[in-house]
Amino acid sequence: LQFPHSVQQLMSGEATPVLSGVLPAFQRLQNCWESHAAMHRDISCYVYEGMEWLNKYHKKAGRSPTYVIAMVLNPAIKFSFINKN
């Protein structure tokens, strides 16, 4: 649970532009949970349940142009995340 907590802390920061980090954070969280599910088969059913919810909101966010515009306008991200995914 440490990684989801760190993502939540990063996304709730007041000094950083958080909207542009939503889609990359979803991707990092999904990658982390996938590796945890593979390593800890005894709890993988719970991890996959959480990933279903994560994917649901990731798809909703991905359909909104607001997040893409925020990433493009953020000089640290620009098109790098979009081109990779």
The Cα–Cα gap between 20 and 34 comes to: 23
27 touches 85 (CB < 8 A): yes
Question: What local confidence, expressed as pLDDT, does residue 75 receive?
Answer: 73
**What per-residue confidence (pLDDT) applies to 69?**
83
Look up residue 72 and give its two tokens. Answer: 């493009």
Q: What is the pLDDT along the chain (85 residues), one digit of tens a residue?
A: 676 777 777 667 666 657 777 778 888 888 888 888 888 889 889 989 988 988 898 888 878 888 778 778 877 776 666 666 6
At 81 the pLDDT is 64
Q: Which domain holds residue 14?
A: 2-84
**What is the domain count for the chain?**
1
pLDDT of residue 13: 65
Which of 28, 25, 33 is closest to 52 using CA atoms?
Answer: 33
